[in-house]
Structure 1
Amino acid sequence: MKISKKHAEEHGIDLDEATRWIEGLDRIHKTRRIQRCFDLSATPFAPTGKKSTDTALFDWIISDFGLNDAIEAGLVKTPRVVVRDDAVPDAKTLRSKLYHIYRDPTVSEDLNRKAEAYEALPKLVQDAYTLLGADWRETRAQWQEAGHHSPPVMLTVCNRTETAARIETYFNKGDAHWPELHAPTRTLRVDSKVLEKAEIGETATSDKDYEARLKAIIDAATIPETRRQQFRGLKKEELLREIVDNVGKRGAAGQDLQNVISVAMLSEGWDAKNVTHIMGLRAFTSQLLCEQVVGRGLRRVSYDTDENGLFLPEYVNVFGVPLSISETGEGGEAPPPPKPTTQIEVLPERAHLELRWPNVLRVETVVRPQLTMDWGKVAPLVLDPASTPISAEMAPALGGATDMGKVTAIDLEKLPDGFRLQRLVFQAARKAFAELSHGFSGSHEYLAAQLVRIVETFLNSDRLDIPSLFHSDPLRRRILIALNIDLVVQHVLSNVTEQNTERLTPVFDEENPIGATGQMRTWYTTKPCFPTTKSHISHLVGDSSWEGHAANIFEKRDDVIAYAKNDHLGFQIYYMWAGSRRRYVPDFLVRLASGTILALEIKGTDSPQNKAKRDALNEWVKAVNAAGGFGHWAWDVAFKPAEIQDIVTKHSAVAEPVA
């Protein structure tokens, strides 16, 4: 982070601190004459945030003993990465999606936003934790049998603080599949802000919940009482530093930790030896960054030797950190000249064409006390085995290559006790209860009992379809259900609410309750554009010919008062898909002469995910109309260009009163 000199002085930050050691060398040299100076560095170049090349290395480098050399020499653990699994691989790289999890668009889109801690993690991330957690359990059992004083540690390095909070909640609420990972007093989320304050001896902003979790870790630690009393007297910044610096060390604050979640890179000197599993949930754009993350788990636990005097091999299993980065080569043809850009802006003289909408965070559903289900009306839920890995193979990674002669497997089929049907029923019912309980007027115990019955009936019915004879085996079927539990819950809930809803209540964004076209910031594009006359926005950006066709219709029809393409406007509908919260952006907003505001979607093909979007939009429109105060809203979807005229005619013919 760059900081001005003035700002640094105001906050007491010494910008020259990092180079103070040079001044010390100068003073020693003047008095004692330094003959030789050796600089030992893991990063022998000036970091700029750009891709590092050989030309950026310091000129005075005379020797290099890199990570690959250390692994080959057996001085550190050998990292193992995912080489394949039994799900469909990434289309671009043909590698397992578990190799670089953040590369998957569903993951990067979901994790790269300001989400609440209670929001579910993307399905691929949950699948990865289930597989990696299975291997961690096996390692934990081996360590307990061998008499280790500390458990093996699973380290997660993620992209932002909101993601770290979601991961912490995922484990501490018990959403992780393996109960051994439901251990709040053995799980530490490293708050980077608190840690930064600890580094410079300052006090961080008060966070009672986080401070309480740190103290709970100390209270539960199996350490002498005298040591515990010493730790209780520390400030939270000092306590966090004490825990982080002593992960896995006997008698120390971090002795019993088994799960560490971090956003900022843990310091170079972090010397935890018991990291056996690493989960990477962030973008990795350089080989150095990958090596730095994996390096946090490479310190050996033991230096015992075999009969030949060689160190016994130790491994760290890695998901989501691509140890081999394919960089784009330099040279070749010169890039083409930049395309001309068009300025897209709000036109103040068209203020009468402004469109406004409520910003709805979620729609709360109030259901009847007595839940009834007509199973004949419930559409089948199809679980695709090709999108769900139930096994993964790992191989040692060295020098950008993997040793396929030393492949080891993580296979969930070898753990049948972890996938009992009754446990899956209660897990799904618990998740469904968390969603429905706030809008249920009856007894919560009665609601829980009803949901258990409904979930159990659904899992045993033909409404759950797994189109694979191989996966129709009872154990494989239960594993697929477990790995798609959020999808099952979402499907059950949508049918429960559809058949039992009494009313819908929108929850508005308190900070920004009303959105409007007039709030759009000016932006630029190189895409084809054409000027508008019936829109508050100067141009329409043509992402497809269908959208251009729709705009032509809106411009010509007298029953269209105003319209806007929903591009950079901020109008979005939240919906659930594959266990995670997604954003749906309808294509157009259209104000008709009848007083109706139409949210119009244009789709060439349909899919189950598109249906989930429409269900959410339908729920949003019903809730907003029921709340009143925002006019009359309607929605529709055109699957063919010719349908747009008919849709406008249909909604223009219904003159609805403006609430």
Structure 2
Amino acid sequence: MLIPSAGSYYDEFNLCPSEALRQKLNQAEVLIENWHTLMPATEPKRSVVKKGAETDEAFTRRVLGKLAAFKDIVVINDEAHHAYRKPAEVKISKKQAEEAGIDLDEATRWIEGLDRLHKTRRIQRCFDLSATPFAPTGKASTDTALFDWIVSDFGLNDAIEAGLVKTPRVVVRDDAMPDAKTLRSKLYHIYRDPAVAEDLNRKAEPHEALPKLVKDAYTILGADWRATAKQWADSKHHSPPVMLTVCNRTETAARIEQFFNQGDCHWPELQAPGKTLRVDSRVMEKAEVGETAGADKGYEARLEQVIDEAAIPETRKEQLRGMKKEELLREIVDNVGKRGGAGQNLQKVISVAMLSEGWDAKNVTHIMGLRAFTSQLLCEQVIGRGLRRVGYDKDDDGLFLPEYVNVFGVPLSIYEPGEGGEAPPPPKPSTQIDVVPDRASLELRWPNVLRIESVVKPELTVDWAKVEPLMLDPVATVISAEIAPALGGAADMSKVTAIDLSLLPEEFRVQRLTFVAARKAFAELKTNFQGNEEYLVFQLIRLVETFLRSDKIDIPSLFHSDAVRRRILIALNIDLIVRHVLRFVTEQNTTALTPVFDEENPIGSTGQMRAWYTTKPNMPTGKSHISHVVGDSAWEQYAANVFESRDDVIAYAKNDHLGFQIHYLWQGSRRRYIPDFIVRLANGKTLALEIKGTDSEQNKAKREALDEWVQAVNSSGGFGEWSWDVAFNLNQIHDIVARYGK
């Protein structure tokens, strides 16, 4: 704003009451610096000359540059919640501060640097600008941590009401089953869904499918993005609208990028690698401080693809191609949606951490939140990335025309309980659960398997008479959602807008669904298929088409059984359908089940368990490498007693904190199944035993995955002979052990 250049808000909004005052602004000597500049200088490690610590005067000259010749300077701290003195009485950990978006080291260095400048040149005035003017305390209430020097408060709600920013619209309801605890739409806080949180909060390869709820959310939000993009294109806007995703970890960001770029996204318009930017947080951090990140040819190629497809002059492209990847990423990020900029044509931005507070992309119209949101502040910070208006046109009454940003997965209204009340009760006595070193002979080992691959012969056939019906439950699939403006934590239900996929029948044609399903099935089988790949594709198209047109798809709702809604349900459950069909490829077409091991930790064992504590009932062990069995139920305690008493049991362990898990697919999401016990029998066999009081469809899916796991591990060799079973009542436990112990 202060530097006299094109795009100054002083000129754009005519903020100066007179031209004379405007010209005085041009006389100001302005220096803009990143807070990293205030860090003390460090000597080169290999320097022969040792100069010692940087003096205050040297620090001042380095930081201020040409302004070092002046005194009585004025400092404007933007995002000033990063520059404060932490009161001694405030006890907060670095982790708690980071959750609130504060770096304690940064805050300390920033204010210490200003102290040194004041010591040598005098700071006449210091103006702090912040949307969140308080220091983190680790408590739910922030009132006690508000900065004492606040003189003007114009909050987010004020800005929304005044029309200075866009109005965020959040999901208020949809046509699927709501969250059981909050009774809200699952699209309101997507990461709150256990299946989503479990799936996204793990190391995963980019090609692994996203959870079904996430894909459904992208399909619905993408439909609204397409409509917005068409409106903008018809209006000859120089840039498309941007969909911003803020996710929890780098692996998730890579999966989302793959989801869009490799064609898993339902909307072809969003399948544009050259218009998709995944912000690598490591590269961005290096860019902030002017350092160089490690080599990553793949990421550099994707940045270059963004430049290649940008609608900018070729001479400018050549300049950008000559930049380091850190500089290039910074250039693209800073120019999202800006005419003639490197990021002018971007449609999607995927970020792990939030983009910097100063990020001023104006064309963000859709936001997808795929991370935990633990505070209202965090929600506002994420949504704030999309609140800058595109334009400031006024209606006949002189009011700004409304602009909106549609938000999925960011729960803008969060109840924060106040302080006070009765003191919490004292903690319950706990027991330490540990590995017993003297029982090394009782150690149990198992392979850590990431997935099971099937080696398929060239000829694929299905006995359709044996194919079980597949139920597609409409209440588990979102087809339409309603969004409403959110203001002050409450949604304005009088201004509800619907996004309904059933209004787009041409986008869900059977032929397209057939090819999408066949492509996914091909990706599953192509690696180990021994025949011609073109013939494999032909067979898969035939099998998928037969299934989709059969009566094997059960939709328990007449309303959702009409042609359009049926096709939409199929599209949103396409991964489930593919897995279901592949289950019934005839036996002769599968030569072997091959385990793919975790390269970082291929073998797990009871000896690797770290000590932990519990207040649950527990029992000391005699035949286990682990000191105690912690029973989640009386059934499990009974099973442990059986193992301790039987001579044909050599060793056992309750699978608690051990890391032994089986991956399986349920409702389109990759889930983890943890069998209850691992038992080593006297005959050398190892038994994975599950204790279940009741059965369900999900439990059947777990058993199928466990059966595949056992077959694959046994065929692979090297881990002895494994078996598995399930006890549905207590009387079966003795019988199961006896049967496998023969």
Is TM more than 0.5 here?
yes
- Residue 94 of structure 2: aligned partner: none
CA distance in 2, matches of 1:497, 1:568: 38
1:67 aligns with 2:160: no
Within the candidate set 314, 317, 334, 1:228 is matched to: 317
Q: Distance in 1 between matches of 2:545 and 2:697?
A: 23
**Which residue does the alignment assign to 1:470?**
559
Match of 2:602 among 504, 509, 513: 513
| Counterpart residue identity of residue 259, structure 1 | K
Contact 1:274 1:297 (C-alpha < 8 Å) held by counterparts: yes
Q: Which is higher, the Rg of structure 1 or of structure 2?
A: 2
- Structure 1 pair 251/41, CA: closer, same or farther in 2 (3 Å)? same
Rounded Cα–Cα distance in structure 1 between residues aligned with 2:399 and 2:581? 57
Alpha-carbon contact 2:442-2:624 (below 8 Å) kept:
yes
Partner SS state of residue 117, structure 2: helix
Distance 1:201 1:37, change over 3 A: closer
Q: Which residue of 2 aligns with 1:110?
A: 199
Partner of residue 662, structure 2: 573
Conserved 8 A contact 1:490-1:579: no
Give the match for residue 546 of structure 2. 457
Amino acid at match of 2:365: T
Check if 1:183 corresponds to 2:272.
yes
SS for the counterpart of 1:39 is strand
Instruction: Give how far 1:312 is off.
Output: 0.4
Q: Judge conservation of contact 1:154–1:279 (CA < 8 Å) in 2.
A: yes
Identity %: 76
The answer to whether the Cα contact below 8 Å between 1:80 and 1:316 also exists between their aligned partners in 2 is yes
State the match for 2:114 in structure 1.
Answer: 21
Q: Which moved further from structure 2: 106-115 or 576-585?
A: 576-585
Q: Would the aligned equivalents of 1:372 and 1:499 in 2 still touch at CA under 8 Å? A: no
> How far 1:361 moved relative to its partner?
2.1
SS at match of 1:277: strand
Residues 1:327 and 2:420 aligned together = no
Distance 1:49 1:251 in 2: 44
User: What residue in structure 1 maps to residue 208 of structure 2?
Assistant: 119
Pair 1:379 & 2:472 matched:
no
| Of 676, 687, 691, the match for 1:598 | 687
Instruction: Tell me the CA shift for residue 331 of structure 1.
Output: 2.5
Residue 11 of structure 1: CA displacement? Answer: 9.3
**Which residue matches 1:411?**
500
Per-residue deviation, 1:389: 1.1
CA distance in 2 between partners of 1:498 and 1:166 (Å): 32
The one of 289, 297, 300 equivalent to 1:200 is 289
The alpha carbon displacement at 1:64 in A equals 0.7
* Contact residue 158 and residue 164 of structure 1 kept, 8 A: yes
Counterpart in 2 of 1:131? 220
Kindly provide the amino acid, as one letter, of the partner of residue 16 in structure 1: R
Amino acid at match of 2:169: R
Question: How far apart are the structure 2 equivalents of 1:304 and 1:152?
Answer: 18
Q: Does the 8 Å contact 1:127/1:389 carry over to 2? A: yes
CA 1:10/1:626 → structure 2, altered by over 3 Å: closer, same or farther?
Answer: farther
Q: Which among 342, 355, 366 is matched to residue 266 of structure 1? A: 355
Query: Structure 2: where are the runs of 5+ without partners?
Result: 1-35, 46-104
Cα separation, 1, equivalents of 2:685 and 2:147 = 66
Alpha-carbon distance in 1 for matches of 2:347, 2:148:
42
Matched, 1:252 2:345: no
After superposition, the C-alpha distances for 1:2-58 in whole angstroms (9 at most, x for unaligned) are x9xx9996899997345423543555547xxx3x64322122112356535100111
The answer to whether the Cα contact below 8 Å between 1:119 and 1:580 also exists between their aligned partners in 2 is: no
Q: Does 1:91 align with 2:180?
A: yes
Counterpart for residue 628 of structure 1: 717
In 2, Cα distance between equivalents of 1:379 and 1:475: 24
Match of 1:167 among 253, 256, 262: 256
**What is the aligned counterpart of 1:445 among 525, 529, 534?**
534
2:229 is aligned, of 140, 144, 147, to: 140
Match of 1:284 in 2: 373
1:139, 1:456 → 2: CA distance? 33
Cα distance in 2, alignment partners of residues 10 and 245 from structure 1? 32
Separation in structure 1 between the aligned mates of residue 470 and residue 178 of structure 2, nearest angstrom: 23
Report the Cα distance in structure 2 between the residues aligned to 1:295 and 1:233, rounded to whole angstroms: 33
Deviations along 1:219-250, one digit per CA (max 9) or x if unpaired, are 11110111111101100000000000000001
1:10 & 1:129 partners in 2: Cα distance?
49
Larger RCO of the pair (alpha carbons < 8 Å, separation 6+): 1
Q: Tell me, in whole angstroms, the C-alpha distance in 2 between the residues paired with 1:8 and 1:373.
A: 70
Task: Go from structure 1 to structure 2 and tell me whether the alpha carbon gap of 1:7 and 1:644 turns closer, same or farther (over 3 Å shift).
Answer: farther
Shift of the 18–119 alpha-carbon distance from structure 1 to 2, 3 Å rule, reads farther
When residues 497 and 267 of structure 1 are mapped into structure 2, their CA distance, relative to the original with a 3 A threshold, is farther
Q: Partner of 2:48 in structure 1?
A: none
Aligned equivalents of 2:170, 2:249: Cα separation in 1: 23
Q: The residue matched to 1:410 in structure 2 has which SS?
A: strand
Contact 2:136–2:142 (8 Å) recurs in 1: no
1:294 maps onto 2:294 in alignment = no
Instruction: Give the whole-Å Cα distance in 2 for the aligned partners of 1:498 and 1:638.
Output: 28
| Amino acid corresponding to residue 414 of structure 1 in structure 2 | L
Query: More displaced, 593-602 or 68-77?
Result: 593-602
User: How many Å separate the matches in 1 of 2:478 and 2:623?
Assistant: 50
How big is the alpha-carbon RMSD for the aligned residues of Structure 1 and Structure 2? 2.0
Q: Greater shift after overlay, 324-333 or 233-242?
A: 324-333
- The 1:168/1:272 distance shift into structure 2, 3 A limit, reads same
**Deviations 1:146-187, CA, capped at 9 Å, x for gaps:** 010100000000111111111001000010110100000000
Residue by residue, what CA displacement relative to the aligned partner does 1:236-290 show, whole Å, maximum 9, x if unpaired? 0000000000000011100000100001111111110000000001111111110
Report the equivalent of 1:436: 525
The one-letter amino acid paired with 2:378 is L
| SS of the residue 2:462 aligns to | coil
The aligned residue for residue 657 of structure 1 is: none
- Counterpart CA distance in 2 for 1:10 and 1:519 is 42
Candidates 324, 340, 355, aligned match of 2:444: 355
For residue 38 of structure 1, the aligned residue among 121, 127, 142 is: 127
Return the offset for 1:84. 0.3
Contact residue 161 and residue 263 of structure 1 kept, 8 A: yes
* CA deviations over 1:443-480 (Å, ceiling 9, x no partner): 11111111111111111112111111111101000000
Residues 140 and 419 in structure 2, CA contact (< 8 A), matched pair in contact too = no
Distance 1:589-1:392 versus aligned 2 partners, 3 A rule: same
Cα distance, 1:358 vs structure 2: 1.8
Q: Is the 8 A contact 2:196 2:669 kept in 1?
A: no
Give 1:564 deviation, angstroms. 0.6
Partner of 2:584: 495
The one-letter amino acid of 2:485's match is P
C-alpha distance in 2 between matches for 1:222 and 1:626: 55
CA contact (8 A) 1:79 1:397 kept: yes
Alignment partners' CA distance in 2, 1:255 and 1:191: 19
Separation in 2 of the partners of 1:606 and 1:429? 32
The amino acid that maps onto 1:515 is G
Q: Return the alpha-carbon distance in structure 2 between the equivalents of residues 355 and 533 of structure 1.
A: 14
SS of structure 2 residue aligned to 1:278: strand
Q: Residues 140 and 418 of structure 2 are in contact (CA less than 8 Å); yes or no, is this contact kept in structure 1?
A: no
Q: Is the 8 A contact 1:275 1:316 kept in 2?
A: yes
Structure 2: distance between partners of 1:290 and 1:509: 35
Distance 1:9 1:515, change over 3 A: farther
Equivalent residue number for residue 97 of structure 2 = none
Q: Pick closer, same or farther for the CA change 1:7–1:377 going to 2, 3 Å.
A: farther
Contact 1:365 1:497 in 2 (8 A): no
Counterpart CA distance in 2 for 1:22 and 1:44 is 20
The 1:306/1:277 distance shift into structure 2, 3 A limit, reads: same
Distance 1:413 1:499 in 2: 41
